[in-house]
Amino acid sequence: MSPYRNLEEYNINITNEVKERFSKIIDEIGEDVTREGLVKTPERAAKAMLFLTQGYKQDAEEILKSAMFAEEYDDMVIIKDIELYSLCEHHMLPFFGKAHVAYIPNGHIVGLSKIPRVIDVFSRRLQVQERLTHDILECINTVLKPKGVAVVIEAAHMCMMMRGVQKQNSVTTTSGFRGQFEKIETRNEFLKLISSDLS
C-alpha cells in the first residue's frame, strides 16, 4: 500500500466493472444511457467514485512517518481551515467543510503538508463525520505521540440538505481531544485560536 497512491491512474478492470454498474443504475432509473449527454457518464462516474474513495489504498500513518523531524519545539502547532470532502456512508452523498488540527510536539514535529494529507486519506472513504474525526485524531496521536492533539471538523451534509429534512443551513461540528487538550485551559486556547482571524 503506497502512502500517496494517486488514483488518477485507474485499474481498467475495476473501472469497467464499476462503469457497468453505473450504466445499469442509469438505465433502471428510467434514463437512456445511449443518449449523447449520458454516453460517457458511466465511465466518468466510475472514475469519480474510485477517486473519491482512494483513501482505502493509502496509508495515513506512513504519510506522517515519512516527514517526522526531531525538534525541541513544545508549544501548540495549529493548522486550521483545512478543506475536506467526503462521502456519507449512509447515502453516498457528499459532506464537506473544514478541519482544524492542533498538536503539542513531544520531541518530534511533522511536515505541515502531512496533516492535510492525512485528512484526505480518511476523507476519501465512505465515512460518518464522527468516525472521520476519530480516525484523524488517533492517527496523529499514535504516530507522533505528542503531548496532546485536538481535531475539530465543521461540515455540511448533502444528505440533510438535498433529501430527508432538507435543511440548507445546518452545519455539524465534531471534536476530539487527547492529552494536554483534555485540560480546559489548553482546549479553550485552541478553540479561541481557530475561531479568530489573525491575518
Catalytic residue positions, numbered: 88-91, 129, 157, 159
Residue at grid coordinates 485552541: 190
Q: Which cell numbers in the block locate residue 102?
A: 492542533
SS3 171: coil
The dihedral over CA atoms of 172, 155, 113, 106, expressed in degrees to the nearest 10, equals 0
Q: Is the dihedral of CA 20, 21, 22, 28 positive or negative?
A: positive
Give the number of other Cβ atoms within 10 Å of residue 11's Cβ. 11
Question: Which of 104, 101, 114 has the alpha carbon at shortest distance from 73?
Answer: 104
Element of type H or E holding 80? strand 77-88
Name residue 53's amino acid: T
DSSP percent split of the chain into helix, strand, coil, nearest 5: 45, 25, 30
